[in-house]
Amino acid sequence: MATVYLAEQALVEREVALKVMAPQLTVDPSFGERFLREARIAAKLRHPHIVSIIEVGVHGDYHYAAMEYLAGGPVQVRDSDTLGLRETLRVVREIALALDYAHSKGVVHRDVKPDNILLREDGSAVLGDFGIARAVDASGAVTRTGTVVGTPLFMSPEQLRGKQVDGRSDLYSLGVVCFQLLSGRAPFVAEDALALGIMHMTSPIPALPASFEQAQPLVSRLLAKDPADRYQSGAAVVAAVTALEAQLDGSAGAIAPAPEGNPREPDLDLGAGRDGRAEPVLGEFEQAVSDRWRVTPRPQGKLRRRRRWGLPLLLVLVLLGALGWWQRATWLPPV
């Protein structure tokens, strides 16, 4: 497991999300390796719709990664609410761009789900948490087989079988996300993971609500059981979504934009303060890192700017309640 804190990069006065692996996990070296692997994979992917990694390190028993602070939280719908067609299409298009870029760099995410799709203050969608991502081999498939990792509610049939997967598996997961954002529920729901897996492999694709039927061809192709029947790339999904958006706008014949290449870092305006929902971080963590980081209780009301220190990346930590979606790491086995 990992916990995320709201922190500040002192020299540039920038708020960041600081992800810290639970120190008790260091008894198994593989957990630290997985944590650092996630950070290294994400750090190599520089795209406007992929979370930016700022610094990675180990301090004593603490593995940490400082990353872009995403103030908007995860994209979610609750209690059968829906996100709306246009907003859902925008999220799907932006994450498809991110996936197309990641796949072009040889990375399959393997855990695309709403909890891992975060929003900036301007509403743009960002893909995060590459904790179970894998590099692909020369044939375009993840090299390891026989191991099932991911979130069953969003996993492709081939991923559930423990087969080799490629980028088309991520596109299936994106289709599940799209269906859930439009309908308020997952396309397949069961009492246990085994039954859920069978549904992903064999059950017909359910229909969207009538008000969103224009998106049914998009969702149905994303959720095709056979990878060969799906869109073959994130760029193809972007083109399909753009065409549907043009259809909704009544502007037939619009040309889909090409996937973004070599994009610059996004400019963030995070504001001068937050709403004070975070709680103070005290105790063992403070004692362990007090030689480098100061951990102080927050004042009542808005978070207060702290005094700066002159270290390369000195972070003032406050538990980030608003970023609770990061607190459940997606690594397997669970703890």
Residue 108, helix vs strand vs coil: strand
Cα separation of 237 and 94, whole Å? 10
HSE-up (13 A, CA, CB side) for residue 14: 18
**Tokens linked to 323:** 């970023």
Q: How big is the chain by its Cα radius of gyration, in Å?
A: 20
Q: How far, in Å, CA of 73 to CA of 227, rounded?
A: 31
Nearest to 65 by CA among 76, 74, 57: 57
Could you give all domains of the chain from N- to C-terminal order, each with its CATH number? 2-69+270-327 (3.30.200.20), 74-249 (1.10.510.10)
Tokens 């260091």 correspond to what residue? Answer: 26
What local confidence, expressed as pLDDT, does residue 330 receive? 32
| pLDDT in the model for residue 334 | 32
Using N-to-C axis directions, what is the helix angle for 234-249 and 85-104, rounded to 10°?
160
Q: 111, 115, 129, 166: which one is catalytic?
A: 111
Q: Which residue has the tokens 């406007």?
A: 48
pTM: 0.71
Whole-number pLDDT of residue 140: 44
pLDDT for the residue 13: 85
Residue 312, pLDDT score:
40
How far apart are alpha carbons 252 and 190 in whole angstroms?
Answer: 40
Encoding tokens for residue 80? 């059968």
What pLDDT does residue 78 have?
Answer: 57
Phi, psi of 115 (to 5 degrees): -60, -25
Which one, of 238, 330, 129, 178, lies nearest residue 187 by Cα? 178
> What's the pLDDT score for residue 131?
62
Q: Do 51 and 67 form a contact (C-beta atoms < 8 A)?
A: yes
C-alpha distances in Å from residue 299, one per residue of 278, 279, 305, 318 = 10, 10, 10, 11
Tell me which residues of the chain have a pLDDT lower than 70.
77-81, 131-150, 251-335
pLDDT of residue 315: 44
157 by Cβ neighbours in 10 Å (0-12 / 13-18 / 19+) ranks as buried
Catalytic annotation present for 111: yes
